[in-house]
A and B are shown apart, each in its own frame.
Chain A
Amino acid sequence: MTLDIIKEVVNVGIGDAAAALSTLVKSRVTIEVPEIHIVDTRDAPDFIQNEIRSLGVYIAQDFSGLFRGKTLLFYSKESCTSLLKALLGDIQVTSALTDTAIATLQEIGNIIMVSCVSTISNMLDDTVEFQIPDVTLEISEGYFKNLVKGLGDLEKTIIVRNQMIVRDNEIEGYFFIMLSFSDFLLLIEKLGNRMLNKGNAQ
């Protein structure tokens, strides 16, 4: 039941994010059904270590309101390069990200993450405040271990593995929503009630 509720919401959010990307690249964006996992945040680094072994880019954003937490987007360097090529045209691939690339990724992260969390917020008739996203180029394991140490009470993590095809480039990304256990339960309860009411009304 919990996973079904999360899947329903995530599908809407990822669909909105794909539509947003499609507007930016002026081309159709195809999305695959996302794979969703709910894990304890302390177990997230091990989970990620098994999934991601490459250098990648993380875009992180904090939010607060009825529920508060952190969202995180991860793209491998290859996916990131494909994404930037689709958005900016041919770019020179170097080991470091240029300021333009960082600014672009920051805005893409902002669009995708705010789109997803706004979708949830609108479903709950709530208002969430967002912070400016940070972009970090890191090896996944190290970044995650450090991140988890500083997360305090954000004990639950929803992990969404999503694949998109943008201008013939396959882009695989991971989207994380980190919440406290009590906010996670509150979110599930409220979203579940909303879906139940919607179902009864039909």
Chain B
Amino acid sequence: MKKILIVDDSAFTRSIHTQIVEALGHQVLAAGSGTEAINIFQEKHPDLVIMDLLMPDMDGLDAIKRILAIDPLAKTIICSTDKQKARQEEARKAGVKAFLTKPVDADQLENAMSKVLED
């Protein structure tokens, strides 16, 4: 069982992702903002962070950069409605391991999580 931090300002999406991740047998930590995610990351050291991009307090990619500054080996996946190629490239350069376009189905999320966790 891995500890997975799900970060999304939408309670609707958090609940969908939580159902998928819990059904895979993992423990879920949830955050509704980038700031909350950074605090939880520092305190709980999750094995993987699944991060939204568009959030009110902080862009998800900025939050990931701050998480990677705390732990350069942190494993991160972006899961966003924003499917722009330039954003995906920016995320890849920042060290994000996978980029998924919302909404994701269970298979997509499971495949991405498996690859990133095994990496």
Chain A interface (Cβ < 8 Å from any Cβ of B): 20, 23-24, 26, 87, 100, 103-104, 106-107, 110-111, 114-115, 118-119, 121-122, 125-128, 130, 132
Please indicate the chain A residues that have their CB under 8 angstroms from the CB of B103 in the complex: 20, 23-24, 111
Main secondary structure, interface of B, reads loop
When the two chains form the complex, which single residue of A20, A119, A122, A128 contacts B102, counting CB atoms closer than 8 Å?
Answer: A20
Asked if B81 contacts A122 (CB within 8 A), the reply is no
What are the 5 A-B residue pairs with the smallest beta carbon separation, nearest first?
A: A114-B81, A127-B86, A107-B10, A104-B12, A23-B103
Contact (A128, B81) CB under 8 Å given A103-B10, A103-B11, A111-B103: no
B98 located at the interface, meaning its Cβ lies under 8 Å from any Cβ of chain A in the complex: no
Asked if B82 contacts A118 (CB within 8 A), the reply is yes
Which residues of B59-92 have CB atoms within 8 Å of chain A's CB atoms?
Answer: 81-87
When the two chains form the complex, which single residue of B54, B82, B86 contacts A126, counting CB atoms closer than 8 Å?
Answer: B86
Which residues of B90-112 have CB atoms within 8 Å of chain A's CB atoms?
Answer: 102-105
B56 located at the interface, meaning its Cβ lies under 8 Å from any Cβ of chain A in the complex: yes
- If A23-B105, A114-B83, A118-B84 are given as contacts, then 10 extra A-B residue pairs at C-beta distance below 8 Å, sorted by A number, are A20-B81, A107-B12, A107-B13, A111-B81, A114-B54, A118-B81, A121-B86, A127-B87, A132-B55, A132-B56
Asked if B54 contacts A110 (CB within 8 A), the reply is yes
Please indicate the chain B residues that have their CB under 8 angstroms from the CB of A110 in the complex: 10, 54, 81
Contact (A130, B13) CB under 8 Å given A24-B103, A111-B103: no
A106 to B9, CA, bound (A): 10
When the two chains form the complex, which single residue of A23, A107, A125 contacts B85, counting CB atoms closer than 8 Å?
Answer: A125
Asked if B81 contacts A115 (CB within 8 A), the reply is yes
A-B residue pairs in contact (CB < 8 Å), sample of 19: A20-B81, A20-B102, A20-B103, A23-B105, A26-B105, A100-B12, A103-B12, A107-B12, A107-B13, A110-B54, A111-B103, A114-B81, A114-B83, A118-B82, A118-B84, A122-B83, A122-B85, A127-B86, A128-B84
Interface size class of B (residues with CB under 8 A): 20 to 34
Asked if A111 contacts B102 (CB within 8 A), the reply is yes
Please indicate the chain B residues that have their CB under 8 angstroms from the CB of A107 in the complex: 10, 12-13
Please indicate the chain B residues that have their CB under 8 angstroms from the CB of A100 in the complex: 11-12
Asked if B10 contacts A121 (CB within 8 A), the reply is no
Closest to A20 in B: B103
Contact (A127, B84) CB under 8 Å given A100-B11, A110-B10: yes
Please indicate the chain A residues that have their CB under 8 angstroms from the CB of B10 in the complex: 103, 106-107, 110
